[in-house]
Structure 1
Amino acid sequence: MKIFIAEPIEGGSVPVAHYCARGFSQMGYQVLFFRGTSFATAHDYIKNLTHRNFNHPLFLLFIEFMKRAVQQCIDEAEPDIVFGVSQSPLFPENLLTSRSRKIITILWFPEDCNRFTSWKRLAPHCDFFFIIQKEPVLSTIRRLCPQTHYLPVAADQEIHRPIKLSPQEKAFFGSDISFVGAGYRNRVHIFRALLDYNFKIWGNDWYLEPDDPLLQVIQNKDRRIPVEEYVKVFNATKININLHSSLEPRSIGGDFINPRTFEIAACRAFQLVDRRSLLKEIFKDDEIVTFESLQELKRLIDRFLIHDDEREEFARRAYKAVLERHTYLHRVKKISDTLWYNK
């Protein structure tokens, strides 16, 4: 069985495409991988040249080129399945052409469907569509693609794992508390209240004023941190703060579960997670510690900084849960089972 996987050009879903490719390969699929990141430099150059005007003729010409490049690769591969994730360069035309040739089309959208809405133009052209949220989002998308299913993200145990760090790495990547991710408004608001701690922030898009006190804890000049480095951060940190993104400045809590939740756990590292409505279906109360206010977060930080054994016990149980139930191999098996059960 041949599966064509379209890697995104850029963005947080790039590694998800790789994890899925590894999982499908482990299941015995012949994986044909389209290298979307090969076009990232050209994509960035054209975005800057057109001042991010996505209706500019030059940008539309690039999109047309990508459609044709992807289609050429699909035509040559002659796969049984075409698979993508959010941000994959699979356009409605590619999906329509594939379905007309009896190629099964599958898209996994590991994003907040309320904020990112490209599913509206993609779901109608998919045989199967997977999302990380439940109702009411599921019912909405099922009107476009009846075979829409809930599928949370996961961890890749070959990448996200406990590792032994050198003293230099522990000093560079380590801290009492840390955060890895982009500078959304709710994070900026909450994290300004944590500057009394030994705190490091890793990630990009922290658009702060020059006099913002939060700048003093931003590491590596606000650049996107690669996977191999943030795994070291997880391993070196006593308490990993996992605050899901929101455009609302004071927002804590929500529904879906981000990849970081599974990745930190897979590193056998300790985390504090903002309370999510879907979390209890995934982790037990003795595996993950949650908070729903800034006051509770600070209280939990103070508690767990002085209780090493308790931190390690939570981390051990969460690690065991991920390996048993929440790897990308588990997820692609679910996709495969859903496909063949409903074929």
Structure 2
Amino acid sequence: MKKTVLISAPNYYGIDSDIKDAFESLGFKAVLINNFPHKISERVGIKIGNCFPVLKAMINPIQKASLITENESFITMVSRVKPDLLFIIRGDFIFPETLARIKEITSCPIVGYAWDEPFHSHDKKNIDDYRGYNFKNGVPWYDLIFVFDEFYIDKIKKQGAKNVYYLPLATNPNRYKDILVTDQDRCDYDYDVCFIGLPFENRIEMFECLSDYNLGVFGDHWTKHFIRRGQKTPSYYRGRASGETVNKIYLSSKIVLNIHHPQSIEGLNTRTFDIPACGAFEMVDYKKNVERHFEIDKEIVTFRSINELKSKIDFYLENEDLRKSISEHGKQRVLNEHTWVHRMKDNVIELM
């Protein structure tokens, strides 16, 4: 009889489903529960609280009521599914007392995975007083915690966790893969440099310095980002991209740029692995763990400053054969070591 993994995760660009698929590929029954970062009422409450802090005492009970309902549903699901492993990703919606109740109804290991910064230090204005502290206060109830960036391990241990380990992010090669790119695709997406992701200030700062290149930037929330600041959306922004279009953009562009969110101190985002999985050429801002997972300049290219980035863009635009060689080596490294199946097989399922 198959063992069962119950996964709780935000619905975030399909990564939650990628992890579910990885468990199923390894022969497990995987049940995925999606929790949503914030309901509309929560988002409105957060904005009001930020603008009028004196009203927080009135808003907090409303925020908590929404989470109580979600926590009760989660406890019910655990009781019904009776999992052999409870795998909680992010965990900011789960009250510590919910974890205590789960401990009373099941003996299965409770494993947490912080796939982004666990204490919201980069996102204080967009988080309520409960989600901002639930994981931190619930840390002692987890049997084991994985985190995407080793930088946060000691910080989590200081909250009372005994077993905290590094678990890098990964890719799903069934989604990010080398696909057929037509002549029309190459015409549509033939950029010197491309990027797909959300608008953060460190990224925008770099893009503003790349006006000499044919730059194509895609992703969600870019127009909204600039409207809120009373600014015009930059011409390098080309629109949203999802599904196979992402692969086509990566494969049609000469250089695929990867710039991390400031929360990544040493660790890597999923894009680090998605890009090579497609067979595309990646240039990424340097993080310590790039060297742990790739051979720099053979499988991936890094940069540490805007001047170095521009110098390397110029060099690699003139060296197509070298780009292809690095792309191929990077692809093989990712497919051999850096898929979600590798992550779950090598780190998680031994707990079962």
d(CA) in 2 for partners of 1:155, 1:203: 18
d(CA) in 1 for partners of 2:176, 2:248: 9
User: Which residue identity does 2:84 align to in structure 1?
Assistant: D
Shift of 1:16: 2.4
Alignment of 1:113-192 (within 5 A): 113=118, 115=121, 119-135=135-151, 137-143=152-158, 144-192=160-208
Does 2:128 align with 1:112?
Answer: no
User: Which residue identity does 1:139 align to in structure 2?
Assistant: D
Shift of 1:204: 2.7
Q: CA offsets, 1:296-321, max 9 Å, x none?
A: 10011111112111101000000000
Does 2:234 align with 1:215?
Answer: yes
- Return the match for 1:316 from 302, 314, 328: 328
Asked whether the equivalents of residues 173 and 233 of structure 1 are also in contact (C-alpha less than 8 Å), the reply is yes
Asked whether the equivalents of residues 195 and 218 of structure 2 are also in contact (C-alpha less than 8 Å), the reply is yes
Gaps spanning 5+ residues in structure 1: where? 248-252
Aligned residue number for residue 27 of structure 2? 28
d(CA) in 1 for partners of 2:161, 2:48: 30
Residues 254 and 141 (structure 1), Cα distance of their counterparts in 2 relative to 1, 3 Å cut? closer
Aligned-pair identity in percent equals 24
Asked whether the equivalents of residues 5 and 34 of structure 1 are also in contact (C-alpha less than 8 Å), the reply is yes
Aligned to 2:234, what secondary structure does the other structure show? helix
Note the aligned Cα RMSD (angstroms): 2.5
Aligned residue number for residue 74 of structure 2? 70
User: Which residue identity does 1:15 align to in structure 2?
Assistant: G
Aligned residue number for residue 79 of structure 1? 83
Alignment of 1:237-256 (within 5 A): 237-246=253-262, 254-256=265-267
Q: CA offsets, 1:253-288, max 9 Å, x none?
A: 941111110000111100111111111110012111
- Return the match for 1:235 from 242, 247, 251: 251
Aligned to 1:269, what secondary structure does the other structure show? coil
Aligned to 2:107, what secondary structure does the other structure show? coil
Asked whether the equivalents of residues 36 and 88 of structure 1 are also in contact (C-alpha less than 8 Å), the reply is no
d(CA) in 2 for partners of 1:273, 1:87: 29
d(CA) in 2 for partners of 1:52, 1:271: 37
Aligned to 2:212, what secondary structure does the other structure show? coil
Asked whether the equivalents of residues 9 and 33 of structure 2 are also in contact (C-alpha less than 8 Å), the reply is yes
User: Which residue identity does 1:316 align to in structure 2?
Assistant: E
Residues 139 and 173 (structure 1), Cα distance of their counterparts in 2 relative to 1, 3 Å cut? same
- Return the match for 1:265 from 276, 281, 303: 276
Shift of 1:141: 1.6
- Return the match for 2:42 from 40, 47, 50: 47
Aligned residue number for residue 218 of structure 2? 202
Aligned to 1:146, what secondary structure does the other structure show? coil
Aligned to 1:7, what secondary structure does the other structure show? strand
Shift of 1:227: 4.5
Residues 84 and 168 (structure 1), Cα distance of their counterparts in 2 relative to 1, 3 Å cut? farther
- Return the match for 2:304 from 292, 295, 300: 292
d(CA) in 1 for partners of 2:351, 2:260: 30
Using the size of structure 2 for normalisation, the TM-score is 0.83
User: Which residue identity does 1:63 align to in structure 2?
Assistant: L
d(CA) in 1 for partners of 2:166, 2:231: 43
Residues 327 and 129 (structure 1), Cα distance of their counterparts in 2 relative to 1, 3 Å cut? same
Aligned to 1:258, what secondary structure does the other structure show? coil
Does 2:242 align with 1:226?
Answer: yes
Using the size of structure 1 for normalisation, the TM-score is 0.85
Aligned residue number for residue 2 of structure 1? 4
d(CA) in 2 for partners of 1:104, 1:87: 15
Does 2:343 align with 1:327?
Answer: no
d(CA) in 2 for partners of 1:34, 1:67: 12
d(CA) in 2 for partners of 1:314, 1:150: 27
Shift of 1:89: 4.6
d(CA) in 1 for partners of 2:336, 2:96: 36
Q: CA offsets, 1:161-215, max 9 Å, x none?
A: 1111233333334411111111111111111010121101111343235555x61
User: Which residue identity does 2:156 align to in structure 1?
Assistant: I
